[in-house]
Amino acid sequence: MSASIQNETETIAKAEPSPLPKRHEVPVEMTWDLGVVYADDAAWENDFARVEGLLAPFEQMRGTLGHAAHLLRCLRAQDEAGSLFGQVYAYASLRRSENNADAAAQAKLDRVRMLSTRFSSATAFIEPEILAIEPDTLRGFLSEEPDLSLYNYYFKKLQRRRAHVRSAEVEEVLALAGEATGGTGAVFSLFNNADLKFPPVRDEDGREVELTHGRYIKFLESRDRDVREAAFKTMHGEYFRWRNMLGASLAGAVKTDVFEARARKYDSALHAALSPDDIPLEVYTNLISTVRERLPVLHRYLRLRKKMLGLPNLQLWDLYVPMVAEIEKEISYAEAQDAVTQSLLPLGEEYGGILQQAFEQRWIDVLENEGKSSGAFSDGSYTTPPYILMNWQDNLSNAFTLTHELGHSLHSYLTRETQPYVYGNYTIFVAEVASTLNEALMTHSMQQQAKEQGDRALQLYLLNSYAERFRTTLFRQTMFAEFELAIHALAERGEALTAETMSDLYLQLNRDFYGAEVEIDASVAIEWARIPHFYRGFYVYQYSTGICAAAALAKGILEEGQPAVERYLGFLRGGGSDTSINLLRGAGVDMATPQPIHQALDVFDSVIAQMEALAE
């Protein structure tokens, strides 16, 4: 799923602005079809009760897993309950996303979150009991009960965690603690999406227009610099008003990460985040050090931006306005569907067929409505379609957001169609590879068309768009990753983690990354307060590693053809059946080295060179 500011878009009407539609006013064909999951609330309630019933037998299984037959029975029961619970949870979460102010939807999600805690508590004994079985004995179980071979990789993953899985009693306490410690993200989401309102901003015609999450980026794309500055300062000014509450909220999330890492005897919260998926710590630290080493490439791009915009200096609110003034590239949702389909033809008929299912079977919730969650994401469960939430506006940015989220959804679909439930998810480390690869293929397709048509201006526009994805995905998300590392380190050292401390850190990072070419306005210091992904510890760095892997994979697909496609589809089908590092190596990329990062930055450098040549 994209955390980038690119996803926060909404067209500002040229006529008198109208309020956002109510949910029931959105055309049905522009909404996702959750009816294939549950026909009505009664069906959902029935499965909610079924999950509760499936949890009851686990108490009788406690203490029995030292026997092969009992172990197999317990793991199958866990898969059955987990699969149904995932469906119940996904439906409640998606319904709430349609309208965050809907009290009934909020109640459903609250109930299912409490059920999640009960699920974790009921099954907390399983992994400690498995780890209590001697490895040789467990290998013998595979001969005694051949069906246990399905769980062989699961057992290997557990062995990696042996030192970090506590006794059954402690595991149960940690599971129960989740309900008390895990609410900061939910509080932020409700505040950010339902309660927080922004003052109006004057548009290019001098009219007052309500500032929203969706309209923010549209204002920043305005050709009027005063409009851009007003939107930037108004947005951050409103978050600054709430700085103490938001600081305490994010600090609580960070301290929860630190508590859980220490409770499980990890060296750090970063180690706790990476270790379960066997991601070397060097992947994270190499990303930061390599990107910092290559900051001159970013600065080259910023110099070109200033030149093409004809500005005497660059401000932070100048970073999103299109550099190609003569292009007004509007694209409808239907046109975007066609462009996405065309660009993904290199991935073959099977991939294209699934893509059409997404469009025809209403996997996508397209339009913005009052109370709807902002941005865009792909979500669902093992037994549901991989749904997509959008807040569609007729621009190129949204077309790329659409193909991005479809990358996530088709990755999920191919994984779930191929793998059993126990391996039916992929790690967040590889989650951004498929989405970013889709973007790379769409860029290539549209650029080729522009070249064939001799459309120099459109080529520049597309190159600008591609360059912006490098800036916002590789550089911006790496800056976020460094911020996360710093605030977790403060908490781990027992130092104060306040809004002021976080703002000072964030301001300095902006100076480090952009200060060579941009005049850094101090109001950006509070921007951390509006980034929802900071409530998922050490998540955002994977946007950066994802674009690096995707750049290499896309190059192989376009140059090598079918063999590279087969390797890539094998990676998508792999799900959670091997480590992320190994799955990517099978596709042809080794993220344990700095090489893919340098390769991606070389691509960015090449894009800048092409822009410089076309801009002459």
Helix H or strand E encompassing 387: strand 387-389
Residues near 460 by Cβ (< 8 Å), separated by ≥ 6?
Answer: 323, 324, 327, 611, 614, 615
Strand 364-365 versus strand 387-389 pairing type: parallel
Q: Which of 405, 439, 484, 527 is catalytic?
A: 405
Residues near 378 by Cβ (< 8 Å), separated by ≥ 6?
Answer: 1, 386, 387, 388, 389, 405, 406, 408, 409, 412, 435
Q: Three-class SS of residue 576? A: coil
Q: Which of 305, 217, 244 is nearest to 518 (CA)?
A: 305
The residue type of 480 is F
Q: Tell me the longest C-alpha to C-alpha distance in the chain.
A: 77
* Dihedral sign (CA 320, 406, 378, 474): negative
C-alpha 100 chain-centroid distance? 19
First to last CA, the chain: 37
- Contact of 479 with 513, CB cutoff 8 Å: yes
495 labelled catalytic: no
Distance CA 593, CA 283 (A): 7
C-alpha 455 chain-centroid distance? 34
- Contact of 358 with 364, CB cutoff 8 Å: yes
**Look-up of token digits 């294939």:** 36
Residue burial 186-209, b: 16+ Cβ < 10 Å; e: rest = eebbeebbeebebeebebeeeeeb
Residues labelled as active-site residues? 405
